[in-house]
Amino acid sequence: MAAILLEGKVLASAIKERLAKDVEGLKKKGKTPKLVAIQVGENAASAVYLKSQSKNAEALGIEYELITMDSETKEDELIKKIVSLNNDSRVNGIILQLPVPEHINARRVICHINPAKDAEGMHPENLGRLVLAEAKVAPCTPLAVMELIKSTNVNLYGKEVVVVGHSEIVGKPLSLLLLKEFATTTVCHIGTGQRGTLPDHVKRAEILIVAVGKASLIKGEWIKDGAIVIDVGVNKIGDKIVGDVEFETAKEKASFITPVPGGVGPLTVTMLMRNLVEAAKLQE
């Protein structure tokens, strides 16, 4: 029996209904949440995400501003702009759009964002709060993954969860969110693949999350019968967009699976908006 599709758009719609009410509540207190995105240079992929940010913010009644800076902008100039936004009481959330030009150290720049206004949850202080299970905001894609898992009504307690990919923006923070729910969490990465044990880990996963960015990395035959599969990967093959998991084979073995596109993606920007609203509430 084919797996049930976990479509992010359906979940995002329900979450945005609740967010719209929260925004309305803040407005009644005289506070309109405001998100400022900063883009340095031009990037085609970023343009799609920025457009989605603007569209979602408008629909929710959130004020949105995009600041574009030249690709030759110096790092200290970017930091000065961020500091000015930190000091602007009208701004509740700041997001630095990645990637940035090579001469700018994104990690260092993000450290200058006020943690209370860190809409992406990527400031070291907010990542540290993840370790303590006290995070108020968190990286958007991991939050989206957690919402998709929870929508299946699975009890994460003790479940064998395998995360493939250990990036700072997905794999690492996601593993901490899973541990907070007492999932038995294994993180696989390039070392796992080079040792040749990746299939072994995938085959025992009751819940599998893949975020690598390599098409068909995970073979459908590896999927455990009845597993929940969350595919974060987005890869362009010819004129098609595909994930990291062999979808057609995997969907015949999994109980739930995300399509690519249409799974995690639509929820990610919704989580950004939720982070912003949470930040605005904390700043009251």
Structural domains of the chain, ranges and CATH numbers in brackets: 30-115 (3.40.50.10860), 139-265 (3.40.50.720)
Known binding-site residues for NADP(+) equal 165-167, 190, 234
Residues 33-61: what's their mean pLDDT?
94
Q: What pLDDT digit, counting tens, does each position of 132-155 carry? A: 999 999 999 999 999 999 999 999
How far is 139 from 136, CA to CA, in rounded Å?
A: 11
Read off the pLDDT band of 1 (50, 70, 90).
low
- Mean pLDDT for all residues in the chain: 96
pTM of the model: 0.96
Degrees to nearest 5, angle at CA 60 with 57 and 61:
85
- The band of 43, judged by pLDDT with boundaries at 50, 70 and 90, is confident
Q: What is the pLDDT of residues 202-249, one digit of tens each?
A: 999 999 999 999 999 999 999 999 999 999 999 999 999 999 999 999
Distance CA 92, CA 87 (A): 10
Q: Which pLDDT belongs to residue 46?
A: 84
Radius of gyration of the chain (CA): 19
Binding residues: 165-167, 190, 234
